[in-house]
């Protein structure tokens, strides 16, 4: 880890090594069902594309979650309590965070955690200017792995982990439990977790959200191949792949694929991989939960659901969990 002073904030840098990315990418491509880790979507370009996805008319989660925040912000802030340290894994542009910070009582510090260093610094500096009395402590890290939490200058009454969006859905059940346990450790004994959980709904709504008409999600998916080319000496030809997202009813999840248009071979970090026509790489899962199902999942990680806020159609939920 290193600390780097950057304009108005100090970055705590645990950015994954290129060697770690290489090992994970190669391991996924060697599998019978090829996969790529979705966390590597988020280089600078990928983070910008995801911000654009959040503005799309088909992509309901961001819009609905913001509506829930606007409607219930006072009650949410009351549940979290005063003088908190707010830790946000996968913070991205920290858009929703501003709504929360505007209603929290005397927050002690805000700690955005993101794997995209440039995007993280831009967002942290913006927040530092908007909230000059708030200590902003950016941490560049893979939040699914343990990392040290910097100590704020002012003592916090408790730590609240803020995990909005539907990121928990990217993890298969056992991995989701492990991640929730990691977030529980971040929150500490007296802490809590405010988490966004996408709920099950009509297949058409779900598939449209991940197959937008403008092709932004397709560009986001294909950008992963371009990042591998740049950072791991790959020679993927993105034009030989197409984006696809399908809802798997039995598993209750969206699957994002990169589908090979033809038979061809690719080299990554000196290793050769063959693709058949219509063979696909799984790049992301996005599980959709029921309220009882998610409560059971959280309990296995040591959390109890205290309060749930949803939209009128119950498409999305924001949930406050306490440490058991």
The rounded distance, in Å, linking the Cα atoms of 90 and 97 is: 12
What average pLDDT does this structure show over 208-234? 98
What average pLDDT does this structure show over 257-278? 98
Q: Of all residues in the chain, what percent are helix, strand and coil, respectively (each to 5)?
A: 40, 30, 35
pLDDT confidence band for 10 (50 / 70 / 90): confident
- CB burial class (10 A; 0-12, 13-18, 19+) of residue 157? middle
The rounded distance, in Å, linking the Cα atoms of 134 and 110 is: 7
* Domains of the chain as residue ranges with CATH: 2-11+56-201+289-323 (3.40.50.150), 36-46+204-287 (no CATH)
The phi-psi region of residue 9 (left if phi > 0; otherwise alpha if psi is between -120 and 50; otherwise beta) is beta
Each residue of 148-187: pLDDT tens digit? 888 999 999 999 999 999 999 999 999 999 999 999 999 9
What average pLDDT does this structure show over 67-75? 96
pTM of the model: 0.93
Q: Which of 160, 178, 159 is nearest to 170 (CA)?
A: 178
- Of 21-25, 100-104, 119-123, the one with minimum mean pLDDT is 119-123
State the pLDDT at residue 3. Answer: 54
């Amino acid at each position: 880890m290193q600390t780097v002073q950057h304009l108005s904030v100090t970055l705590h840098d645990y950015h994954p090594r290129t060697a770690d990315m290489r090992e994970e990418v190669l391991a996924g491509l060697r599998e019978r069902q090829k996969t790529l880790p979705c966390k590597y979507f988020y280089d600078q370009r990928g983070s910008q594309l995801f911000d654009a996805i959040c503005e799309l008319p088909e992509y309901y989660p961001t819009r609905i979650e913001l509506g829930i925040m606007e409607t219930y912000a006072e009650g949410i802030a009351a549940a979290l309590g005063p003088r908190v340290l707010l830790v946000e894994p996968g913070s991205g542009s920290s858009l929703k965070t501003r709504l929360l910070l505007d209603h929290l009582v005397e927050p002690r510090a805000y700690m955005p955690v993101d794997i995209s260093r440039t995007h993280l610094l831009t967002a942290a500096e913006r927040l530092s200017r908007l909230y000059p009395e708030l200590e902003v402590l950016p941490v560049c890290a893979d939040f699914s792995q343990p990392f040290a939490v910097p100590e704020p200058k002012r003592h916090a009454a408790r730590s609240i982990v803020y995990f909005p969006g539907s990121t928990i859905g990217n993890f298969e059940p056992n991995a989701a439990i492990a991640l929730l346990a990691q977030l529980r450790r971040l929150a500490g004994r007296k802490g809590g977790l405010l988490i966004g959980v996408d709920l099950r709904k009509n297949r058409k709504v779900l598939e449209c959200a991940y197959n937008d008409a403008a092709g932004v999600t397709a560009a986001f998916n294909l950008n992963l191949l371009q990042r591998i080319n740049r950072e791991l000496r790959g020679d993927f030809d993105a034009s030989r792949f197409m984006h696809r997202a399908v809802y798997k009813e039995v598993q209750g999840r969206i699957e994002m694929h990169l589908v090979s248009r033809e038979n061809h071979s690719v080299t990554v970090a000196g290793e050769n991989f063959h693709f058949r026509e219509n063979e696909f790489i799984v790049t992301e899962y996005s599980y959709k939960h029921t309220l009882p199902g998610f409560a059971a999942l959280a309990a296995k990680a040591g959390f109890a659901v205290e309060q749930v806020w949803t939209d009128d159609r119950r498409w999305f939920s924001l949930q406050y969990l306490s440490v058991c």
